[in-house]
Amino acid sequence: MNSSMFARFFLLSTLFIFISACAKISIPSGGLRDKLPPVVIKSSPESGAKNFRDKSLEISFNEYVVLDNINEKFMVSPPMKKKPRVFIKGKNVNIEFNNELKDSTTYTFYFQDAIKDLNEGNIIENYQFVFSTGPVIDSLSVTGNVYNSFNLEIPEKTLVLMYGELADSAVVKHLPEYISRVDRNGYFRIDNVRGGNYRLYALKDVDNSKNYNLTEEEFAFMDSVLEITPGKNFIPVVKDTTIIKEGVSKVSKPVAKDTTTIQKRASKVSKPVAKDTPALKKGASKVTDTLIVKGEYQLLLFAARKKAHYLTKSSRDLKYQMIYTLSLPPDSMKFEFSIPGADDGAYFIEKSGNSDTLKVWLADSALYSQPQIATIVKYPFTDTLGTLDYKEDTILMRFLAPRATRGAKVKKPVFNVDANILSGSLKPGQSIVFSSQTPFRQPDTSRIHLYESIDTTRQKVPYHLAKDSINSCKYILTAKLLQGKKYLFVSDSASFGNIYNEYSDSTGIKFSFKDPESYSKLTLNIRNYEGDRIIQLLNNTEKLVSESLIKKDGKLVFSLLESGFYRVRTIYDLNGDGKWTTGDFSSGRQPEPVSYYPGEIEIKTGWELEQDWDMGAKNVKVQKLREKKKTK
């Protein structure tokens, strides 16, 4: 009986627990994520209002919003002397201003992407609010693109300024009538413009003045006056749908005897390779398809060449080194340095190639151990009236040594020497170069050996080790080294040292010359421009690899190239001085134009690649669209 009752109780308990679990109410999931930006449901006044006279605006949204970096992104065109106050109140964005509004003027408030919803961060792209203090809303538009004049890259945080006052002094002294900012792809658009004649400029505004009043600011200007007519009435935003395709290339490769091969995408035909001719490798160019919004006007930013002479920098980052830099090379004038009371040989000076930088090495420990040293420099200086003369300054050079950790063992410093053979290979004809961070003392050549490795034996190779003529931190080793041979460089302990009694550890480095066949060659067939040009081969980060000066069209060869991606830039050397020349607003000179071969060129080991390049168009570069960063 007890057993039966227990069984019933157990069954009823289990059934009750099961029913309770089935009846449990769960909290519903959040549903689909909101991906829509906030929507304007009303505003006071409405955007597009005419005869506006109030001192505030209110814009209402369908959800709560926040302002992202509003002080930087928010702009008013034409600019107001005092920037309006922008703030959030509930689901509203409020704007208050105390400026006296101009009569019969269309005002545009640019928010860019500063407004986004509170929960998901969805932004309103390029939101604008427009009103007029007169009976008409101006409806004309100006569009364009801004690029860096030297590398044609897209500049960040750049303003576009437009002036109805046509005098050059206006951009220096007055606020613009219209203002905008370039987007992440270099495009700009100014709407609600009144018809008339204007000057157009671009500016990286260092001091937030909306004027080109600092020579170090990057600046761009149009040569001609813009005539804005009703024909430009609300120009639609249209993307240039011309996609740049893969370039035509001539690529040779090994072929069978008496066989003719036609290359893909090429208008040229490879001739049969003779039996005794070394086989040429195949290659190809890599060009990224690009879709760019093209405006009507192009502005090229440049930093003007400094014209005033002055001392730009003095530093003592190391206890035994001091550096002084001028704004311009002194040319025929002097740049002098001295330390009052210092003995002869207590220091020595190294000058840069154009003498605008002095590097002072302190060689006396009694001198460089001082935390503060009084130095005298004499240099060319341009005063406020533009007069050039000498200026002499007494400059205190301080160095505070870091405190030693209590109880820490002081290790004897080691003199570290870098060498271009550490990778294990040299290019044909390349010398061996040793470099350091501090000046060398005379190396002990009795401890330095160079061997040719022949099977299991070594044979000594004579060499000559010489100090670089202008750099005390560099030594060059020359020897009769042959292609296809293997070598071993050995330096015993203390074979190298610096003037501060630090010495190198022993080392041994095996190296050889790379086979020329493992390098590649690029040939450019240059056409459609006559005149001086500087052709620069750049790596994938646009660092200079090699350059050549040419005066007429024809073939240009870059040899001994490592595998990788390259770009090629030409500088149209209009003044024939062998270098790129920046612009000058005061004389109306634009920066010298440049252009890039359309896209990257891929080169692999052993390739020989031939490319056609039409240089007729200036200031052209394939750009990659910058993606908008997603807001979390």
- Partners of residue 59 on adjacent β-strands: 43, 93
CB 558 within 8 A of CB 520: no
Collapse the DSSP code of 211 into the 3-class scheme (helix H, G, I; strand E, B; otherwise coil) and give the result: coil
Question: Sign (positive/negative) of CA torsion 338, 340, 343, 346?
Answer: negative
CB 364 within 8 A of CB 342: yes
283-334 confidence digits (pLDDT tens): 444 444 445 678 999 999 999 999 999 999 999 999 999 999 999 999 999 9
Pick the CATH number of 40-132 from 2.30.40.10, 2.60.40.1220, 3.40.640.10, 3.30.1360.70: 2.60.40.1220
pLDDT of residue 162: 95
Tokens of 12: 């009823």
* Total length of the chain: 632
Distance CA 51, CA 104 (A): 8
Distance CA 566, CA 560 (A): 13
Tokens of 375: 């130095």
CATH fold of 418-514, please? Immunoglobulin-like (2.60.40)
Delimit the domains of the chain by residue range: 40-132, 140-232, 248-286+517-632, 335-398, 418-514
pLDDT of residue 355: 94
Q: Which long-range contacts (CB under 8 A, 24 or more apart) does 227-230 make?
A: 227/196, 227/197, 228/140, 228/142, 228/193, 228/194, 228/195, 228/196, 228/197, 228/198, 229/140, 229/195, 230/140, 230/195
User: What CATH class does 248-286+517-632 carry?
Assistant: mainly beta
Residue 360, phi then psi, degrees to nearest 5: -105, 125
221-260 confidence digits (pLDDT tens): 999 999 998 876 554 544 444 444 444 444 443 333 333 2
- Partners of residue 157 on adjacent β-strands: none
DSSP codes, 235-293: ----EE--PPPPPPEEE-----TT--EEPTT-SSEEPPPPTTSPPPBP-EEE-----EE
Distance CA 262, CA 250 (A): 10
Collapse the DSSP code of 170 into the 3-class scheme (helix H, G, I; strand E, B; otherwise coil) and give the result: helix
- Could you state, in chain order, the average pLDDT of each consecutive group of 10 residues for the chain (632 residues)? 54 53 48 81 94 94 93 88 92 92 92 89 89 93 95 93 95 92 91 94 92 92 93 53 42 35 32 35 44 84 94 95 96 95 93 94 94 96 94 95 69 90 90 96 96 92 94 95 92 96 95 88 95 96 95 95 95 96 96 95 92 94 65 46
Pick the CATH number of 140-232 from 3.80.10, 2.20.25, 2.60.40, 3.40.50: 2.60.40
CB atoms inside a 10 Å sphere around CB 139: 16
Residue 250: which of 540, 601, 620, 616 has the closest Cα?
Answer: 601
> CATH topology of 40-132 equal to that of 248-286+517-632?
yes
Residue 601: which of 548, 563, 555 has the closest Cα?
Answer: 563
69: left (phi over 0), alpha (psi -120 to 50) or beta: left
Distance CA 84, CA 617 (A): 44
